[in-house]
Amino acid sequence: MSVTVVPIETVPEIEKIHPRQGKFLFRRLLKGEDGSPNNFTFEMSRTYADFYSPRHRHNFDQFRFQLEGDFSFSRDGKSKPGTLIYHPESAPYGPQSSDEEAVVLVLQFGGASGNGYVSSTEQKAAIEELEKHGTFANGAYTRIDENGKKVNKDAFEAVWEQVNGRPINYAKPRYQGPIFMHQDSYSWVPVDGNPGVSQKLMGVFTERRTEAGFLRLEAGASCELSGPKLYFVTSGAGSVSDAAVAKHTSIHVEAGDRATITAMEPIEMLFLGLPNFEEKELRKAA
């Protein structure tokens, strides 16, 4: 059974090399398999009032769950504690900024198109190589080409192209822009066959059935967790597969696997379901 349980206190907070502007600290809670269409990174990020990122888009999907502080996405909206945002691949958003320290849970993963996700290790190596020939500033990468002409490119696009050795491509957008979800506007719905367990299903996205929602267990209640999903405990305590879980514990249940969670005290948790790729598609992409 492939189930990973990661208590927050076991993950150090470190400064991250990134192509945007401002100080950026993070904890890498979980990660997937490099080079796979279902690769992902699950992180807790801390930014400050100096953070800035211009309006841009990605060729992968992203969820953001605000834990502390407010974060502005300009005309797209403002993220406050408890806000869950789905950023679809190819859909532009931002610019991003904050007037205060902010903490957010971020899941970045390969979207429905199968373009995959470039890992932090690959990004770091690409940034270091690009800095030999140009500079990163205000979310952009600038270099002088062989004709002495200044060339500007979005920082993410420059890094992606350095890693992959080819021009970036974007799938046709499935959504117009980011989707802001406010959990307080949803009702808890009992989960059939699981006394003391209820759920807020926030949404199911694309033909790959990427999911997001919240799960609540009363003290003493149990239920089965299924994959491929990531779970993040926002409050309470209990156990999963004989491993203790508490506030800010992360859980990864891989595709085809299941695990039972039992609440010692009332538990609430965020769940994020990764896209459903067929086995033949994973083999083809490998």
CA 277, CA 286: separation in Å to the nearest integer? 13
Q: What is the pTM of this model?
A: 0.87
Task: Using the predicted structure, report yes or no on whether residue 154 has a pLDDT greater than 80.
Answer: yes
Per-residue pLDDT reduced to its tens digit, 156-191: 899 989 988 889 989 999 999 999 999 999 999 999
186: Cβ contacts below 8 Å, ≥ 6 apart: 200, 202, 214
121-129 long-range contacts (CB < 8 A, ≥24 apart) are 121/34, 122/34, 122/163, 123/17, 123/18, 123/19, 123/159, 123/163, 124/17, 125/163, 126/159, 126/160, 126/162, 126/163, 127/17, 127/18, 127/19, 127/159, 128/17, 129/162
172: Cβ contacts below 8 Å, ≥ 6 apart: 90
Band (pLDDT 50/70/90 cuts) for residue 65 is very high
Q: Which residue has the higher pLDDT, 271 or 116?
A: 271
Domains of the chain by start residue, with CATH: 187-273 (2.60.120.10)
266: Cβ contacts below 8 Å, ≥ 6 apart: 216, 217, 218, 219, 235, 236
CA 191, CA 199: separation in Å to the nearest integer? 7
Task: Using the predicted structure, report yes or no on whether residue 2 has a pLDDT greater than 60.
Answer: yes
Task: Using the predicted structure, report yes or no on whether residue 108 has a pLDDT greater than 90.
Answer: yes
CA 63, CA 214: separation in Å to the nearest integer? 14
Taking only Cα atoms into account, the Rg of the chain, rounded to an integer number of angstroms, comes to 19
Residue 162: Cβ within 10 Å count: 19
Question: What is the pLDDT, as a whole number, of residue 285?
Answer: 42
Percent of the chain past pLDDT 90, that is, above it, reads 65
Task: Using the predicted structure, report yes or no on whether residue 121 has a pLDDT greater than 50.
Answer: yes
